[in-house]
Chains A and B, each alone.
Chain A
């Protein structure tokens, strides 16, 4: 199975900060990587697919990059509504596997 290692597991940031979350795959997955945002008590929301493609309606402050084994999710200017937990998912190979999550908290 492909292991997805997300880092950091949590971070504290201020409104307006630029935030970067990384996800590393245990083997190459091309660009079959998605990112999700989850707020407490809510279902996840899809942000990005194919490593860098924004889902419809997702603001451009979110961006993704990477290919192969190393990927990043960047939030250009953190806003109060962005405080949440973020997950990566590889869908290159079954079983699909998620990263452990990154909790973004207010500093």
Chain B
């Protein structure tokens, strides 16, 4: 079964750091472009970051540039999002999503998400 499972969320103080993990199964993560997408409580979806198949090209939404870093461990078939200098507005459920591969976009699967709460 093709799936992703996110973990690593929790309560963190403003200015703090968290590292989110996304464990993929049923497919080889490095064969695809991968995304992190978030959703603040009661709000819409917001794209955060992408990593291309080569692992070298990375893209971020403007308000996380310099604070968030997307990375991958091929041996563990896992994707990560290192989040530093967290702000209250980063509070959201964070989803890991398979974005593109084999010549087409997928936007699937989505995990259950992991909740990040930034609060003092």
Q: Which A21-59 residues have C-beta < 8 A from chain B? A: 34, 36, 38, 43-46, 49-50, 55
Given known pairs A94-B50, A96-B50, the reply for A87 and B112 (CB within 8 Å) is: no
**B107 contacts A46, C-beta separation under 8 Å:** yes
Question: Chain A interface residue count: which class?
Answer: 20 to 34
Q: Interface residues of A: mostly helix, strand, loop or mixed?
A: loop
Distance of A32 from chain B, by nearest CB (Å): 8
The chain B residue sitting closest to A97, CB to CB, is: B47
Given known pairs A44-B45, A49-B104, A87-B44, the reply for A95 and B110 (CB within 8 Å) is: no
Q: Which A64-107 residues have C-beta < 8 A from chain B? A: 87, 89, 91, 94-101
Question: Chain B interface residue count: which class?
Answer: 20 to 34
B105 within 8 A of A: yes
In the bound complex, residues from chain B placing their C-beta under 8 Å from that of A101 are 44-45
Given known pairs A94-B59, A100-B44, the reply for A34 and B50 (CB within 8 Å) is: no
- Select one of A1, A34, A99, A100 contacting B107, CB under 8 A: A34
In the bound complex, residues from chain A placing their C-beta under 8 Å from that of B47 are 89, 95-98
Can you identify 30 A-B contacts, CB atoms within 8 angstroms?
A: A1-B62, A34-B105, A38-B45, A43-B95, A43-B110, A44-B110, A45-B108, A46-B106, A46-B107, A46-B108, A46-B110, A49-B104, A49-B105, A49-B106, A49-B107, A50-B104, A55-B107, A87-B44, A87-B45, A89-B47, A89-B107, A94-B50, A95-B59, A95-B60, A95-B61, A97-B47, A98-B44, A98-B45, A98-B46, A98-B47
